[in-house]
Structure 1
Amino acid sequence: MGTKNSRHYTTEFKQDAVNYYHSSGKSMAKVAEELQVSQASINNWIQNAKKNEGTVSDRGAGNYASDEAKEIAQLKKELRDAQAAIDILKKAMSILND
């Protein structure tokens, strides 16, 4: 059939879409049509905003519970990468010193 059109929308765009929906008095379908997004996307953003006191939250890739959790995961990955690099350098030094 067709290919799925996967587009990433900025948090600002999502928030503007939710604000527009609430202020326009238009149906969700009409707002989705005007903004050229799916009605399901508009609905998801509205539900997200309801859960977050009117603000659309964008957890980003990985679906972390918060920005702090995402940052911690990123820092842990960087630490693992740095430790691996140090281990490689230690092995290389021991080979050169032999």
Structure 2
Amino acid sequence: MGSKYTKRYTEEFKRDAIALVDCSGKTVTAVARDLGVSSESLRGCYRRARIDRGQGQPGHLTSEEREELKRLRR
């Protein structure tokens, strides 16, 4: 269970923030500062999005693959 200080962002917010990083030419840190969110939170979302698009490092599972693995382990 997360801390009471953990912020949860909607999928729409994450998608828009990631698009802003991709199209603005700004760094993840700069976009996070502009949006008033943690740079580490946005960086994690950005990495996950890159992996899901097939742009991450080889060997990392996509979100879909991670969900399937969870389901199979249950």
Query: Which runs of 5 or more residues in structure 2 are unaligned?
Result: 55-61
Q: Secondary structure at the match of 2:19?
A: helix
Deviation track 1:10-66 (CA, whole Å, cap 9, x = no partner) reads 111111100001101112211011111111011101110011117xx878xxxx724
Could you say if the C-alpha distance between residues 33 and 13 of structure 1 is closer, same or farther in structure 2, counting changes exceeding 3 Å?
A: same
Contact 1:11 1:58 in 2 (8 A): no
Could you say if the C-alpha distance between residues 34 and 20 of structure 1 is closer, same or farther in structure 2, counting changes exceeding 3 Å?
A: same
Query: Which runs of 5 or more residues in structure 1 are unaligned?
Result: 74-98
Cα distance in 2 between the residues matched to 1:49 and 1:30: 18
Deviation track 1:46-92 (CA, whole Å, cap 9, x = no partner) reads 110011117xx878xxxx724xx3xxx7xxxxxxxxxxxxxxxxxxx
Q: Secondary structure at the match of 1:65?
A: helix
Cα distance in 2 between the residues matched to 1:52 and 1:58: 6
Aligned residues: 61
Q: TM-score, normalised by structure 2?
A: 0.65
Q: Which has the larger Rg? A: 1
Name the % identity.
32
Q: Secondary structure at the match of 1:8?
A: coil
Contact 2:21 2:31 in 1 (8 A): yes
Aligned: 1:65 with 2:71: no
Q: TM-score, normalised by structure 1?
A: 0.51
Name the structure 2 match of 1:23: 23
Contact 2:52 2:63 in 1 (8 A): no
